[in-house]
Structure 1
């Protein structure tokens, strides 16, 4: 993952997480995000899932996730690799959003 900026990881991860929040991938992704970033992020992804069921809030949620992840990566740059390993295989699937 050398050479990938934390901002890019945050942007890509936000897009993937919000796109997957309404799918069956969400449950797996929650566990992986919890493993990389902690239980608070796992819970936040479940909240995103609920919001996505009620309204068309994709862009709002993606923006919130991007900001949260940028803050997390600024404080803990070591988790960028873990996060990118989780979202990397899913990047193509969220490209259509």
Structure 2
């Protein structure tokens, strides 16, 4: 991930995590997020899956995750590499 800013990781991860939460990848991604960021984040991603049942929720959830991840990576920038490893195969 050399050269990618934590803010960029937060932006990309928010898009990927919310998209994955609404797909069959949810269980794998939520487990990886839990391993990387902690069980609270795994639970939050599963809650996002439930909120995505409302068709207008995608952008709200993506904004929420971007803010949360920016805060996490500001406090713990060393997690950016690990989080990027999780989302990299899912980036389009």
Equivalence map 1:39-58=2 (5 Å): 39-58=39-58
**Structure 2 portions without partners, runs of 5+:** none
Is 2:62 the partner of 1:62?
A: yes
Equivalence map 1:1-97=2 (5 Å): 1-92=1-92
**Structure 1 portions without partners, runs of 5+:** 93-97
Question: CA offsets, 1:9-61, max 9 Å, x none?
Answer: 00000000011111110000011000110011100000000000134211000
TM score, norm. by length of structure 1: 0.92
Which structure is higher in helix share?
1
Moved runs in structure 1, 4+ residues, more than 2 A?
A: none
Q: Aligned-pair RMSD on alpha carbons?
A: 0.7
Which residue of 2 is the match for residue 95 of structure 1?
Answer: none
CA distance in 1, matches of 2:55, 2:47: 13
